[in-house]
């Protein structure tokens, strides 16, 4: 069992946190690598039932569906769930992470992608331990800033993230920045491969992605000023042709473990 360091339990997202960006989020977020999904399924004790907790618009659930007989995908945000397309083998439903409604010892695989920092961690861990079958797999991951490998472009995005919209990120964002290292993980850890999300994006794609940030939306809401056009002007000079594609990467910070086998 992993050790649980002292922590302050994260809170639920503030009201309306995802509602204003749900459509942009669905359109402009990168997709998780298929190799990650295949690795998780390959290490799962079975392929009967997976729980995608904090599913958002169903990104992970869609990737799991071809490999798992049934996927239950839950989220607290109705606005995010409204962006999830119906899919055979996937059941979307609104539920708290700490109260899934799933049967005890029924789940082979639990995944939490870029959502753990919103949960009541201790309560969620108890719920996940309850629903996972012995030896069932828990996988949690998050990702930070995009990187193009072009230093001036990456510096502009970093400055936008930290200095322009930085004050408008919720406090829970710190857990993403440190890769969830401070959050308890009471599962038997197993070594995980390194995975990254990648995309071939134009500048238009990048700007859409930055607009999908909740901190960008909150900046506009609180100040009445849209900070994106100024950044766009600076990036155009660095990017060149705005329709030119560049390689973009987001390394994943991944924690994987098994439920108690005893």
Question: Cβ distance 170 to 177 under 8 Å?
Answer: no
CA distance 50 to 34: 16
How far apart are the two ends of the chain, measured CA to CA in Å?
A: 11
Q: What pLDDT does 28 receive?
A: 59
Domain ranges of the chain: 22-258
Please report the pLDDT score of residue 130 as a whole number: 97
CATH number, domain 22-258: 3.40.50.150
Residue 92 is predicted with a pLDDT of: 97
Pairing between strand 188-189 and 107-113? unpaired
Q: What is the pTM of this model?
A: 0.85
Count CB neighbours of 78 within 10 A. 11
Residue 87, pLDDT above cutoff 80 = yes
- Average pLDDT over the chain reads 89
Q: Which two tokens stand for residue 55?
A: 């599913």
Per-residue pLDDT tens for 166-184?
A: 999 999 999 999 999 999 9
Mean pLDDT of 47-71: 96
Residue 25, pLDDT > 60, answer no
Task: Report whether pLDDT(122) > 50.
Answer: yes
Instruction: With CA atoms as reference, report the closest residue to 189 among 229, 238, 155, 138.
Output: 138
Burial degree of 23 (CB within 10 A; 0-12, 13-18, 19+): middle
C-alpha angle with apex 255: 251 to 257, nearest 5 degrees? 150
Nearest to 29 by CA among 199, 230, 153: 199
């Amino acid at each position: 069992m992993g050790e649980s360091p002292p922590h302050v339990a994260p809170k639920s997202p503030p009201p309306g946190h995802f509602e204003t960006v749900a459509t942009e989020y669905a359109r402009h977020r990168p997709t998780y690598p298929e190799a990650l999904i295949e690795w998780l399924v390959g290490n799962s004790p079975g392929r009967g039932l997976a729980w995608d907790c904090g599913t958002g618009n169903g990104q992970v659930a869609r990737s799991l569906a071809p490999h798992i007989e049934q996927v239950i995908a839950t989220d607290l945000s109705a606005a995010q769930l409204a962006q999830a397309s119906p899919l055979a083998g996937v059941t979307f439903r609104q539920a708290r992470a700490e109260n899934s409604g799933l049967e005890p010892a029924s789940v082979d695989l639990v995944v939490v992608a870029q959502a753990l920092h919103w949960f009541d961690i201790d309560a969620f861990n108890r719920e996940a331990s309850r629903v996972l079958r012995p030896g069932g797999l828990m996988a949690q991951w998050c990702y930070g800033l995009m990187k193009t490998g072009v230093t001036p472009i990456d510096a502009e995005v970093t400055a936008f993230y930290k200095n322009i919209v930085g004050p408008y990120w919720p406090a829970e964002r710190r857990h993403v920045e440190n890769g969830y290292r401070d959050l308890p993980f009471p599962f038997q850890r197993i070594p995980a491969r390194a995975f990254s999300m990648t995309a071939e994006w134009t500048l238009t794609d990048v700007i859409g992605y930055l607009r999908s940030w909740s901190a960008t939306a909150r900046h506009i809401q609180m100040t009445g000023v849209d900070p994106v056009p100024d950044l766009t002007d600076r990036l155009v000079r660095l990017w060149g042709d705005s329709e030119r594609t560049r390689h973009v990467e987001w390394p994943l910070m991944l924690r994987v473990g098994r439920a108690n086998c005893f």
